[in-house]
């Protein structure tokens, strides 16, 4: 039973560790994008033309990360995590 206890603790600690990174990585990306945008706004002139603002918005939307990250097993991993 002691061995089983250590194995269960090890498995759950791995899941906690992976869930931490599952939350931390998007949060770090969000903050880095925010600070990059604020830095770029300081560098740009305040009196930009409307066309330039529109081009900047379109480019920022184009550079966004897509919703599909290419993981086929993403949903399956989530369901298996719930089952455990």
Residue-wise pLDDT for 3-19, tens only, equals 989 999 999 888 888 88
Is 49 among the domain residues? yes
Structural domain for 27, as ranges: 2-63
Domain count, the chain: 1
Residue-wise pLDDT for 5-54, tens only, equals 999 999 988 888 888 888 888 888 888 877 777 766 666 655 566 667 77
Is 48 among the domain residues? yes
Spatial distance between the Cα atoms of 2 and 24, rounded to a whole number of angstroms: 33
Q: In which residue are the tokens 């920022």 written?
A: 60
- Report CA 66 to chain centroid distance, whole Å: 11
Spatial distance between the Cα atoms of 54 and 65, rounded to a whole number of angstroms: 19
Is 79 among the domain residues? no
pTM, two decimals, is 0.37
- Report CA 72 to chain centroid distance, whole Å: 17
Is 18 among the domain residues? yes
């Amino acid at each position: 039973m002691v061995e089983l206890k250590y194995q269960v603790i090890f498995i759950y600690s791995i899941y906690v560790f992976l869930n931490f990174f599952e939350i931390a990585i998007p949060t770090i990306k969000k903050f880095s994008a925010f600070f990059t945008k604020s830095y770029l706004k300081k560098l740009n002139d305040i009196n930009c033309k409307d066309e330039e603002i529109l081009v900047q918005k379109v480019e920022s939307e184009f550079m966004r990360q897509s919703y599909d990250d290419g993981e086929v097993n993403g949903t399956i991993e989530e369901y298996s995590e719930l089952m455990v």
